[in-house]
């Protein structure tokens, strides 16, 4: 869905450095989500937001923080990246139909 864009699309960084992934939406979604995709695990929820400045943890939140200062932007921060955080990260917004999420194209992060 073109309404959700993620940046950067690809990033290589070193262990211990901070990383911020940005999700920008133009669909006025109230609920926003960050997932990570890993082989053998599918998509796992990291954090989600249910409104501006309202966020909560998902199932794999350790080592991650999020912020949502305005409806359009949902940021995912890795304070000190580790190799276990090498993954593909997807941002999603919730549509009006039950359970239907609209995903961005993903951000591939490699931590060396």
Partner 1 sequence: DQQVKQNSPSLSVQEGRISILNCDYTNSMFDYFLWYKKYPAEGPTFLISISSIKDKNEDGRFTVFLNKSAKHLSLHIVPSQPGDSAVYFCAALNRNQGAQKLVFGQGTRLTINP
Q: Which residues bind partner 1 (CB under 8 A)?
A: 1, 4, 31, 33, 35, 40-45, 48, 50, 56, 58, 90, 92, 94, 98-106
Minimum distance of partner 1 from residue 7's CB (angstroms): 14
- Nearer Cβ to partner 1, position 15 or 26? 26
CA-CA distance, 38 to 17, in Å (whole number)? 21
Length of the chain: 112
The smaller minimum CB distance to partner 1, of residues 85 and 107, is found at 107
The least CB distance from residue 38 to partner 1, in Å, is 9
Residue with Cβ nearer partner 1 (19 or 29) = 29
Alpha-carbon dihedral 71, 92, 43, 18, rounded to 10 degrees: -50
């Amino acid at each position: 869905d073109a309404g959700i864009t993620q940046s950067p699309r690809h990033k290589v960084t070193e262990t211990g450095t901070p990383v911020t992934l940005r999700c920008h939406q133009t669909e006025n979604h109230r609920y926003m989500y960050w997932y990570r995709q890993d082989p053998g695990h599918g998509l796992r929820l990291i954090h989600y937001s249910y409104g501006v400045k309202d966020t909560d943890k998902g199932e794999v939140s350790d080592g991650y923080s999020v912020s949502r200062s305005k409806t359009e932007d949902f940021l995912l921060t890795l304070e000190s990246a580790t190799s276990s955080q090498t993954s593909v990260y997807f941002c999603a917004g919730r549509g009006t139909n039950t359970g239907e999420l609209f995903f961005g194209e993903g951000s591939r992060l490699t931590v060396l």
